[in-house]
């Protein structure tokens, strides 16, 4: 019952709908007592041979009228109660989704996507069920059941009632027990199905790797195991399901058997009339649903309880990165100063960045290079305030980034992450993601700057081509350039290209960098790269190693130093020389 207490805030909020719905249910329960009574009266009149056509007509008219009124009332309570349940579903799902958007990337790293989706779907559905069907079964089992038992006991015969009801608790128990079993087994079947789903998805995306390694047979066997598992678990559900109806029929049958045997005895003894016995057996039929409802109620409440707790647990997680009370409501602009004594990812022992000190004038370009894992992405993520720096500070326009409202801070950035992501929408929509109101001209301009315009025109529907699962497949380089166009369209104060040119060829890279220089005067750009040619023209270059600055300066200064950068630069020049058959990139 505690779940109803926890949902009380919602019942109160929707009191009009719940109040009217429950009142209507009451009215239905009371009205339903009438038809058996009428039938009993007709039977008795026939027995006493006193039934006139006029009398029969009156009863039939009343029965018809009751049927119509019941029809309307049943419609009304369904709309009221189930409607309220669905509104709760929408409310909670929205709350949860809004909450997800507030949580930091760290939260999403720690949780499985499938799990988060299950909370937003299955759990919320279970709560909706509690607020709709749960209330219905509660009222029906208590009130409708109560009204029928009361009528049977007080208006017909209490002994007959007692005897006939003997098997009923068994029925409530059986419904609850089987319901529970079905639920548990169904859950397992669902899990097995999820595993199968994951496997199919993985195998289809990874089919080339599977074939290349000749693992088809092994994968087939693995798949066979999973499908058998799904089948067995579904059969386990079907077995309980198959027991359900026969058990209920058996118990109900037994109840009727007792009612008719003992009832006939009472008729012979003249304690009740034959009409009353008829009326009684119809009432008994009316008790089946409240009993079933009672068993269901217990299940619904248990599931609602568990789901509500899970959703509440998620909602209670506080975002790590929040706005300060006095947060500034302005989009940051100006010089950037990064002073980080040390930054350690939560849960890690070793800092990922140490002794980083860089000052960047507004409009300058910063290049960051270094091996994989040297801390380039971490640097970008700290600028975006995906994590807070404890030892040190990052300032934009002389103000620490923690002082800006998060929404404003992020507006200053156009970020092209390493693991770029395109939505299953048209190319134009993907580019205009940050500014959905952009005109086609603006979208095309951004695409031209990112050197993807010509490619897009080659697609079947040009800018209106859908990408992703439902549309064309793009190459890695095309995806990267669309992501760059998306960042350029918002014309950000600070553009971050995090290893975003890795999949484009050298010529395109040069063209994009040139376009950026020409179009981003007075706006800051940060480029991280493996290929040093991407940062060659930057105003300042950081060479990171194990989270520390190993070298820094302009390209010329770094070349003159003759360290890692100079070494690497020559090596990469040589590689590209070989790749291009003799013409060094710098000379081309």
Task: Name the site residues for ligand ADP (rule: CB under 6 A).
Answer: 109, 345, 348, 352, 370, 372-378
CA 246 to the chain's CA centroid = 38
Nearer to ligand ADP, 19 or 105 (CB): 105
Nearer to ligand ADP, 255 or 377 (CB): 377
CA nearest to 123, candidates 340, 327, 287, 313:
313
Buried b (16+ CB within 10 A) or exposed e, 317-348: eeeebebeeebeeebbeeebbbebebbbeeee
Nearer to ligand ADP, 346 or 363 (CB): 346
Report the half-sphere exposure of 522 (CA within 13 A, side-chain side).
2
Nearer to ligand ADP, 15 or 109 (CB): 109
Tokens in use for 422?
């395109």
CB 413 → ligand ADP: shortest distance, Å?
17
CB 433 → ligand ADP: shortest distance, Å?
23
Nearer to ligand ADP, 318 or 348 (CB): 348
CB 357 → ligand ADP: shortest distance, Å?
17
Q: Are 498 and 530 in contact (CB under 8 A)?
A: no
Q: What is the edge-to-edge ordering of all strands in the sheet holding 524-529? A: 413-416, 494-498, 524-529, 365-370, 540-545, 548-553
Q: How far is 353 from 82, CA to CA, in rounded Å?
A: 55
CB 370 → ligand ADP: shortest distance, Å?
6
CB 569 → ligand ADP: shortest distance, Å?
18
Nearer to ligand ADP, 58 or 109 (CB): 109
CA nearest to 329, candidates 411, 412, 408, 413:
408
Nearer to ligand ADP, 280 or 387 (CB): 387
CB 530 → ligand ADP: shortest distance, Å?
9
CB 380 → ligand ADP: shortest distance, Å?
8
Nearer to ligand ADP, 248 or 358 (CB): 358
Nearer to ligand ADP, 92 or 353 (CB): 353
Q: How far is 268 from 259, CA to CA, in rounded Å?
A: 14
Per-residue three-class SS string for 214-244: CCHHHHHHHHHHHHHHHHHHHHHHHHHHHHH
CB 501 → ligand ADP: shortest distance, Å?
14
Nearer to ligand ADP, 109 or 507 (CB): 109
Q: How far is 351 from 345, CA to CA, in rounded Å?
A: 7
Q: State the DSSP code for 496.
A: E
Q: How far is 234 from 230, CA to CA, in rounded Å?
A: 6
CA 220 to the chain's CA centroid = 31
Q: Which helix (H) or strand (E) holds 388?
A: none
CA nearest to 527, candidates 386, 430, 415:
415
Q: Are 435 and 489 in contact (CB under 8 A)?
A: yes
CA nearest to 516, candidates 543, 497, 529, 544:
497
CB 418 → ligand ADP: shortest distance, Å?
7
Q: Are 127 and 277 in contact (CB under 8 A)?
A: no
The percent helix, strand, coil of the chain (3-state, each to 5) is 65, 10, 25
Number of Cβ atoms within 10 Å of the Cβ of 527: 25
Q: How far is 576 from 579, CA to CA, in rounded Å?
A: 5
Tokens in use for 446?
């951004």
Name every residue whose Cβ is closer than 8 Å to that of residue 433 and which is 6 or more positions away in sequence.
423, 486
Q: How far is 171 from 386, CA to CA, in rounded Å?
A: 56
Pairing status of strand 365-370 against strand 391-396:
unpaired
Q: How far is 296 from 168, CA to CA, in rounded Å?
A: 14
Q: How far is 124 from 129, CA to CA, in rounded Å?
A: 9
CB 531 → ligand ADP: shortest distance, Å?
14
CB 513 → ligand ADP: shortest distance, Å?
20
Nearer to ligand ADP, 378 or 524 (CB): 378
Nearer to ligand ADP, 377 or 483 (CB): 377
Q: How far is 346 from 349, CA to CA, in rounded Å?
A: 8
Nearer to ligand ADP, 397 or 417 (CB): 417
Nearer to ligand ADP, 379 or 569 (CB): 379
Q: Are 148 and 287 in contact (CB under 8 A)?
A: yes
CB 564 → ligand ADP: shortest distance, Å?
14
CB 415 → ligand ADP: shortest distance, Å?
14
Nearer to ligand ADP, 193 or 345 (CB): 345
CB 437 → ligand ADP: shortest distance, Å?
33
Q: How far is 338 from 44, CA to CA, in rounded Å?
A: 96
Q: Are 541 and 369 in contact (CB under 8 A)?
A: yes
CB 542 → ligand ADP: shortest distance, Å?
11
């Amino acid at each position: 019952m505690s779940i109803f207490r926890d949902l009380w805030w919602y019942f109160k909020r929707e009191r009009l709908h719940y109040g009217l719905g429950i009142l209507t249910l009451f009215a239905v329960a009371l009205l339903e007592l009438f038809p058996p009574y009428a039938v009993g009266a007709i039977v008795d009149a026939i027995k006493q041979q006193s039934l006139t056509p006029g009398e029969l007509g009156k009863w039939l008219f009343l029965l018809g009228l009751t049927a119509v009124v019941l029809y309307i009332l049943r419609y009304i309570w369904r709309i009221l109660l189930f409607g309220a349940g669905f509104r709760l579903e929408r409310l909670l799902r929205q709350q949860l989704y809004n909450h997800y958007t507030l949580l930091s990337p760290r939260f999403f790293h720690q949780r499985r996507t499938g799990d988060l989706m299950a909370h937003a779907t299955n759990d919320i559905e279970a709560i909706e069920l509690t607020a709709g069907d749960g209330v219905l079964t509660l009222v029906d089992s208590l009130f409708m059941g109560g009204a029928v038992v009361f009528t049977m006991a007080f208006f017909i015969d209490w002994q007959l009632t007692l005897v006939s009801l003997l098997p009923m608790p068994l029925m409530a128990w059986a419904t609850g027990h089987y319901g529970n079993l079905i639920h548990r087994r169904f859950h397992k079947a669902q899990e097995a199905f999820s595993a199968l789903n994951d496997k199919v998805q993985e195998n289809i995306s990874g089919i080339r790797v599977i074939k290349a390694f000749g693992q088809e047979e092994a994968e087939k066997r693995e798949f066979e195991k999973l499908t058998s598992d799904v089948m067995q678990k579904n059969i386990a559900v079907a077995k309980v399901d198959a027991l359900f109806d026969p058990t209920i029929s058996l118990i109900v049958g037994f109840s009727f058997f007792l009612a008719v045997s003992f009832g006939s005895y009472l008729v012979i003894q003249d304690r009740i009339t034959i009409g009353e016995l008829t009326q009684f057996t119809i009432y008994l039929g009316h008790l089946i649903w409240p009993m079933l409802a009672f068993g269901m109620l217990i299940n619904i409440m248990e599931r609602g309880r568990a789901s509500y707790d899970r959703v509440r647990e998620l909602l209670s997680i506080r975002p790590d990165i929040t706005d300060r009370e006095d947060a500034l409501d302005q989009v940051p602009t100006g010089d950037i100063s990064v002073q980080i004594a040390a930054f350690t990812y939560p849960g890690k022992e070793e800092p990922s960045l140490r002794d980083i000190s860089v000052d960047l004038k507004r409009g300058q370009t910063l290049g960051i290079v270094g091996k994989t894992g040297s801390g380039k992405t971490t640097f970008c993520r700290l600028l975006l305030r995906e994590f807070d720096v404890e030892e040190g500070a990052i300032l934009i326009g002389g103000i620490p980034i923690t002082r800006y409202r998060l929404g404003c801070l992020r507006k200053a950035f156009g970020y092209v992450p390493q693991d770029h992501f395109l939505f299953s929408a048209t190319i134009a929509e993907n580019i205009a993601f940050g500014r959905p109101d952009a005109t086609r001209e603006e979208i095309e301009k951004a695409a031209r700057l990112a050197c993807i315009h010509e490619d897009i025109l080659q697609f079947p529907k040009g800018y209106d081509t859908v990408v992703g699962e439902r549309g064309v497949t793009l190459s890695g380089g095309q995806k990267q350039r669309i992501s760059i166009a998306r960042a350029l369209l918002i014309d950000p104060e600070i553009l971050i290209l995090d290893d975003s040119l890795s999949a484009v060829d050298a010529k395109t890279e040069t063209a994009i960098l040139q376009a950026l220089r020409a179009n981003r005067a007075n706006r800051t750009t940060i480029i991280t790269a493996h290929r040093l040619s991407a940062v060659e023209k930057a105003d300042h270059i950081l060479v990171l190693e194990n989270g520390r600055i190993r070298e820094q300066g302009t390209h010329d200064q770094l070349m003159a130093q003759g360290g890692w950068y100079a070494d690497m630069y020559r090596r990469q020049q040589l590689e590209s020389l070989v790749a291009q058959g003799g013409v060094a990139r710098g000379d081309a």
